[in-house]
Amino acid sequence: MSGFSVSWLELREPADRAARDMALVGRLAAHLETRPGDIKLLDIGCGSGSTWRSLRSHLPARVHWTLLDHDAHLLAEAARRIGPKAVFRQQDLGDLDALPLDGADVVTASALFDLCSLPFCEHLLRRLATQRCALYAALTYDGRIDWTLPHPLDAQAVNDFNRHQTGDKGFGPALGPKAAAKLAQLAQDKGFDVQVAASPWRMGPDEAHLQAAFLDGFRQPLFEIGSLSADEIEDWINFRKAQIALPGSLCVVGHTDLLALPV
């Protein structure tokens, strides 16, 4: 799976927290309250622990967290920030059969499934259905990016970026912007009660550093797709960066939250 830096995850965490649909979090909490005894939660692709920081105060106190990631550096950072309040486990997420799902009440993940392939999602949903384990999948990128102030190359740049998102990120050809809809369909097919909600980033001048880093993240994908020249790419990125500080300027990046409950 493609790696992410601690600095990028830290930069995006406030935007992620603001974007989460709290009604779905409330429904997850209500579901977990019905579970007897201790509640087992497995957070996959945990990064530096942002899902724990976002959800812990909203879920029942008897939830026991296990945070899992393949990246030892990110896992160590999560352990440093969270301490003994959770269990940390390093594991290749590609080995779904090895996921410790026995007795799990819910699997959570944030900003993960747009990086995953269809076979990965199908395999995971089969395991969750067998275990009657819920899934809370937040902040799945859905391909929509809009700016207040338009540029003639916006549509092409976003289209090329979205094409690049369907490359192999470590789990086979990624679903990219189609991931949220496909995940919802798979969960419904497995008999889950599925609820989805929009969770867009809304980035204004106060999120200038995040916007700049987000735009820098376009450069390599656009170069690799190759439908725009190097000069066009740099001109577009420079234009977009110049708009960040303007009053009323806004960038909206579409994400989707999903909650799938066993019935």
| Model confidence pLDDT, tens digit, residues 142-178 | 999 999 999 999 999 999 999 999 999 989 999 999 9
Please give the DSSP secondary-structure letter assigned to residue 168: B
How large is the average pLDDT for residues 29-55?
Answer: 97
**Would you state the pLDDT for residue 4?**
82
pLDDT bracket for residue 114 (50, 70, 90): very high
CA dihedral sign, ordered 107, 111, 112, 118: positive
Is 108 a residue whose pLDDT tops 80? yes
Decide: 249 and 149 in contact? Cβ < 8 Å. yes
Please report, as a single letter, which amino acid is at residue 232. E
Tell me: pLDDT of 124 over 60: yes
| Under 8 Å between Cβ of 228 and 153 | yes
What is the greatest pairwise CA distance in the chain?
60
**Contact partners, residue 147, CB within 8 Å, separation at least 6:** 154, 240, 243, 249, 250, 251, 252
Domains of the chain and any CATH numbers: 6-143+168-202+253-261 (3.40.50.150)
The pLDDT value recorded for residue 3 is 61
